[in-house]
Amino acid sequence: MNPDEVLLDILAHAWSLLVRGGADRKSPMHTPVVASVDAEGLPQARTMVLRKADRAAGTLRFHTDARSPKAAQLHGRPVSVLAYHAGENVQLRISGTGRVAADGEPVDALWNQSTLFARRCYLTQFAPGAVLPGPASGLPDWIEGQQPTAEQIAPARPNFAVLWIDATAIEWLHLANTGHRRAVFRAADGWAGTWLAP
């Protein structure tokens, strides 16, 4: 197989790992690190749950609290995603631009697709990162440890937002005793790949 065909296979495999990560909560790619830069220019990284990867659209989708500082840090800004699959010895670094939306039909549909228990997170009384007097979930006492009803969860809807990352590049690194391999794929090049020194 020639090097260009190998690159095509690598890109397909990278996307398959991401797609599986969005669909399978047991996948190592299900909880990548998403990094951004805050208003002070400081790097901020956090583990997030990958909800869906869409190769055709070139996007990764995550859910977040609209009140969270990260929503502003990620919207319309450069974003980096780091995922590692230990079983495959593959690291993926995805560069892109974030889009955060809290309103509209697509966001409503995703809210309605989520389980009631997952939606319960957005009932917190305080914005993520708010200072509290002691350790607490931030949830109202009446819902702690409880499965909410659709009616109980309705007030949480304004706090729910969706983060889409429009991928502009995927850097693939395969670790191997026989020698590491590294390549980068850029959307601007029609996702053509280039080999890099590991």
The reply to whether CATH 2.30.110.10 applies to domain 3-112+157-196 is yes
Which residue from 80, 46, 59 is spatially nearest to 15, judged by alpha carbons?
A: 59
Q: Is the confidence at residue 142, as pLDDT, over 90?
A: no
Which residue from 50, 16, 14, 57 is spatially nearest to 33, judged by alpha carbons?
A: 50
- Note the pLDDT tens digit of each residue in 9-65: 999 999 999 999 999 999 999 999 999 999 999 999 999 999 999 999 999 999 999
What is the per-residue pLDDT for 87?
95
Those residues with Cβ within 8 angstroms of residue 164's Cβ, 6 or more apart along the chain or in another chain: 59, 60, 61, 62, 98, 99, 100, 101
Gap between the Cα atoms of 42 and 136, Å rounded: 27
Query: Would the pTM count as exceeding 0.85?
Result: yes
Q: Is the confidence at residue 98, as pLDDT, over 80?
A: yes
Task: Write down the domain spans for the chain.
Answer: 3-112+157-196
Strand partners, 35: 45, 80
- Note the pLDDT tens digit of each residue in 176-187: 999 999 999 999
Integer angstrom CA distances of residue 129 from 34, 36, 61, 70, 137: 17, 16, 22, 10, 11
